[in-house]
Amino acid sequence: MKPAIETKDATRDAAVPRHVAVIMDGNRRWAKARLLPRLIGHQRGSDAVRRVVEAAADFGIEYLTLYAFSSENWKRPEDEIGDLMGLMRLYLRRDLNELHANGVRLRVIGDRGRLAGDIIDLIDEAESRTRDNRRMTVVLAISYGGQGEIVQAARALAAEVAAGRLRPEEIDESLFASRLETAGMPDPDLVIRTSGEKRLSNFLLWQAAYAEFVFVDTLWPDFGRDELELALREFRSRDRRFGARKD
Ligand code: IPE
Ligand code: IPE
Ligand code: MG
**At residue 127, what is the residue type?**
E
Task: pLDDT tens for the chain, 247 residues: list them.
Answer: 444 454 444 444 558 999 999 999 999 999 999 999 999 999 999 999 999 999 999 999 999 999 999 999 999 999 999 999 999 999 999 999 999 999 999 999 999 999 999 999 999 999 999 999 999 999 999 999 999 999 999 999 999 999 999 999 999 999 999 999 999 999 999 999 999 999 999 999 999 999 999 999 999 999 999 999 999 999 999 999 999 976 6
Q: Distance, CA 163 to ligand 3 centroid (Å)?
A: 42
Residue ID of nearest Cα to ligand 2 atom 1: 201
Q: Dihedral sign, CA of 118, 123, 128, 130?
A: positive
What is the pLDDT, as a whole number, of residue 13?
A: 57
Asked, for residue 157, whether it belongs to a domain, the answer is no
Do residues 6 and 175 make contact, with C-beta atoms less than 8 angstroms apart?
no
Do residues 21 and 205 make contact, with C-beta atoms less than 8 angstroms apart?
no
Strand ranges of the sheet holding 63-70, from the earlier edge strand across to the other edge: 104-109, 136-144, 63-70, 19-23, 190-193, 212-215
pTM above the 0.85 mark? yes
**CB within 8 Å of 110: residues ≥ 6 apart:** 69, 71, 140, 141, 142, 143, 144, 145, 181
Residue 9 annotated in active site: no
Indicate if ligand 2 lies below 6 Å from the C-beta of 25.
yes
Asked, for residue 242, whether it belongs to a domain, the answer is no
Residue 140 β-bridge partners: 66, 108
* DSSP 3-state of 137: strand
Asked, for residue 10, whether it belongs to a domain, the answer is no
**At residue 53, what is the residue type?**
V
What is the pLDDT, as a whole number, of residue 70?
A: 98
Asked, for residue 107, whether it belongs to a domain, the answer is yes
Asked, for residue 162, whether it belongs to a domain, the answer is no
Q: Where are the beta strands (DSSP E) in 63-189?
A: 63-70, 104-109, 136-144
Region of residue 212 (left: phi > 0; alpha: psi -120 to 50; beta: else)? beta
What CATH number has the domain bearing residue 112? 3.40.1180.10
Residue 139 β-bridge partners: 65, 107
Q: Distance, CA 38 to ligand 1 centroid (Å)?
A: 9
| Helix, strand, coil percent values for the chain (each to nearest 5) | 50, 15, 35
Question: Domains in the chain: how many in total?
Answer: 1
Asked, for residue 243, whether it belongs to a domain, the answer is no
Asked, for residue 179, whether it belongs to a domain, the answer is no
Task: Determine the Cα–Cα distance for residues 47 and 167; give it in Å rounded to an integer.
Answer: 48
Task: Determine the Cα–Cα distance for residues 210 and 90; give it in Å rounded to an integer.
Answer: 34
Can you give the residue range of the structural domain that contains 209? Answer: 19-145+188-235
Asked, for residue 150, whether it belongs to a domain, the answer is no
Indicate if ligand 2 lies below 6 Å from the C-beta of 68.
yes
